[in-house]
Amino acid sequence: MINFLHLLLLIPLAGYLISLLFSSKNETALAWTAFVTVGLQFFLTILLLLWWRLAGLPTFNVKDWVLFQTVDYNFFLDFYFDKITAVYLLVGAVLSFLVTVYSRHYLHRENGYKRFFNTILFFFLGYNIVVTSGNMETLFIGWEILGISSFLLISFYRDRYLPVKNAVKVFSIYRIADVGLILAMWMSHHLWHENITFSQLNNHEIVSEHLQQHSMIGFCIAILILISAAAKSAQLPFSSWLPRAMEGPTPSSAIFYGSMSVHIGIFILLRTFPFWENQISVRWIIAILGFTTSIIATGIARVQSSVKSQIAYASIAQIGLIFIEVALGLDNLALFHFAGNAFLRTYQLLISPSVVSYLIKEQFYNYVPKAPSIEEILPKKWQYTFYMLCLKEWNLDTTMHNWLWMPLKRMGQYLNFLTVQKTIAFFSVLMGAGIAAIVFGSYLPNWLHHSLPTAYSIIGLVLVLKSFTERKSVKLSWLLVMVNHCFIALAVSFNDAFSSTFILMYLSGVFAAALLGYMCIARLKKLEKEVDLSRFHGHSYEHPKITFVFLLACLGLTGFPITPTFIGEDLVYTHIHEHQMVLAIAVSLSLIVDGLAVMRIYARVFLGPHTKSYHDIAYRSS
């Protein structure tokens, strides 16, 4: 069993690495690499499930690899297999195989043929890590891979304006889901005093004992998990991102937003169900959220003029119903419903281009009178009101923009006086003062010593807000993200037991990625006259190598699991005390905004229509 689980992760990883070696012009090798990788994964999944059934449907938990360990901290990879994993593995393997076969011909002679198959295999690796994960830390690795894969596939047509803009918009919602999960992990560390595994959550006696003593912490953890699940599965108030994600190619829309990625929120709720099943208030909240989303999404789907958007909102409505089933404890029904919805939406999205052409031809020859609908039982005023609200998608997108992102942008605009030189001077003074306060902490008043961590975390948050709103200097925006990480490390350093080893682990990846990204920016400025953040520049056309290296730097700076910063972020949260709620929220907001700022830099500098007029200007939308 352990070897099977290892193979399910090693095969997509090997396929992804092999696909990187082929030229973008060698379509046959790229397609066959993806086809063999996903096909072999499908075959092994069938064998695993047959063996599992013959063995009597046992549950397995494998503590596999300890990445970092101290006296009171243990970061390890853990894998878990039960009926939830089995269903998600089977559905993922079948649909990935079908979409891979479909994509071989659908994307023939497309400029991004290699990028597409590289990203699909990368996504498949992340999906398998998520559904086989045995603890939050392992799940978060796959979770991050799914997030960056989504960004790359939505912005697949990177010479167009809307795909790139929508990719940044979707990534912003994913960052909210990321930090919700991180905060849940932080509170779980204080509740359990260890990295709890999903296997341990099935021990009802231990869970009940902890929740009786810390009922409010348990409620907060459950709500944070729900926020992450709702954001990932496009439930209210995050529903508007799913139809915007349809800007990518049809196969990626089918595999991501019709079937696999959009159902990961349900997976998290099912996996953590033993933790919150006795919290009746949480179950009511999940059920009400699912019901409200289903009603609103159904109305929006009925007035959409785009077939992809209609399918997206229909899928959101069905996922809302699955949320209700999970809240009611009907896990078998929820799994069956997930599989049915995934297969149906994949089928609908894959045939949507053909259906549209058929309907355009048939509308000239066949007249179909309007069928009666349920809305007709309402008064006319209510009908018209509901219709206009659905037509405007209940202003979900505008509400998120006005109430979430605009306040952050306004706060950052108050720092327009900052330059690179002023930032370096400001950073040097505050960092020197902070280090001195740590060294001579015994001479400081207690109130000041306890206030400094929160103060430094808020300063870092304000600076990274300036990075998010910067429209001129790329170097300044990049520098402010690095400074924010330094202030986070300094803020947590005031707490006991956060040693220099932990600081080095956290900041080593930050400094390496920051230096690599700065070199890319400096090189690009030498080659191009115009590099700023006021618009999309599309420099990936002429500088693909710099684009790829800068993307790696962006991933390192955001804590993606390719540098020690990923473990360092978990260490930071582990050493934030239970009573330091303001510090935890400030750090979380900083990590949200710094990820947005970094990917915004990447999108504005390297993606979108090219600034030079001799390049073709693409259509605004795909």
For residue 441, pLDDT beyond 80: no
Sorting pLDDT into bands at 50, 70 and 90, what band is 306?
confident
For residue 530, pLDDT beyond 80: no
Give 181-232 as a DSSP string. Answer: HHHHHHHHHHHHSS--BHHHHT-HHHHHHHHHH-HHHHHHHHHHHHHHHHHH
Mean pLDDT of 256-261: 77
Return the amino acid letter for 7: L
**Of 503, 482, 505, nearest in space to 567 by CA:** 505
Mean pLDDT of 8-23: 87
**C-alpha to C-alpha distances, 464 to 142, 408, 411, 556, nearest whole angstrom:** 26, 10, 10, 16
- Percent of the chain residues topping a pLDDT of 70: 94
Reduced to 3 states, what is the DSSP secondary structure of residue 51? helix
The pTM for the full model equals: 0.90
Sorting pLDDT into bands at 50, 70 and 90, what band is 365?
low
Residue bearing tokens 């697949």: 156
Mean pLDDT of 156-170: 84
For residue 537, pLDDT beyond 80: yes
Residue bearing tokens 């400001």: 426
Cβ atoms of 193 and 594 within 8 Å: the answer is no
For residue 622, pLDDT beyond 50: no
Cα–Cα dist 97/205, whole Å: 42
**C-alpha to C-alpha distances, 496 to 169, 194, 253, 499, nearest whole angstrom:** 38, 17, 47, 8
- Percent of the chain residues topping a pLDDT of 90: 14
Sorting pLDDT into bands at 50, 70 and 90, what band is 162?
confident
Reduced to 3 states, what is the DSSP secondary structure of residue 80? strand
For residue 620, pLDDT beyond 60: no
Output the 3-class SS for 334-349.
Answer: HHHHHHHHHHHHHHHH
At 158, list the tokens.
Answer: 């990177």
User: Would you state the torsion angle of the CA atoms of residues 572, 574, 580, 585, taken in this order, to the nearest 10 degrees?
Assistant: 60
Alpha helices of 113-192 — where are they, by DSSP H?
Answer: 113-132, 136-154, 161-192
Least confident segment among 68-72, 170-174, 393-397: 68-72
Q: What is the pLDDT of residues 219-258, one digit of tens each?
A: 888 899 999 999 988 888 888 888 888 877 888 888 777 7
pLDDT score for 504: 84
pLDDT score for 2: 65
**Of 335, 195, 316, 222, nearest in space to 277 by CA:** 222
List CB contacts of 409: < 8 A, sequence separation 6 or more.
465, 468, 469
Mean pLDDT of 385-392: 82
**Of 93, 114, 185, 115, nearest in space to 144 by CA:** 185
Sorting pLDDT into bands at 50, 70 and 90, what band is 318?
very high
pLDDT score for 328: 92
* Average pLDDT along the chain: 84
List CB contacts of 345: < 8 A, sequence separation 6 or more.
254, 258, 259, 311, 314, 315
At 451, list the tokens.
Answer: 């206030």
Sorting pLDDT into bands at 50, 70 and 90, what band is 284?
very high
Q: What is the pLDDT of residues 91-137, one digit of tens each?
A: 999 998 988 888 888 888 778 888 888 888 998 899 999 999 888 88
For residue 285, pLDDT beyond 90: yes
HSE at residue 90, side-chain half, CA atoms within 13 A, is: 18
For residue 490, pLDDT beyond 80: yes
Cα–Cα dist 256/149, whole Å: 9
Least confident segment among 85-94, 215-224, 432-441: 432-441
DSSP single-letter state for residue 179: H
For residue 27, pLDDT beyond 50: yes
Mean pLDDT of 561-565: 83
Count CB neighbours of 130 within 10 A: 26
Least confident segment among 57-71, 214-228, 290-304, 381-395: 57-71
Q: What is the pLDDT of residues 592-615, one digit of tens each?
A: 888 889 999 999 988 888 776 666
- How do the domains of the chain map onto residue ranges? 2-361, 414-606
For residue 362, pLDDT beyond 70: no
Cα–Cα dist 98/111, whole Å: 22
pLDDT score for 74: 74
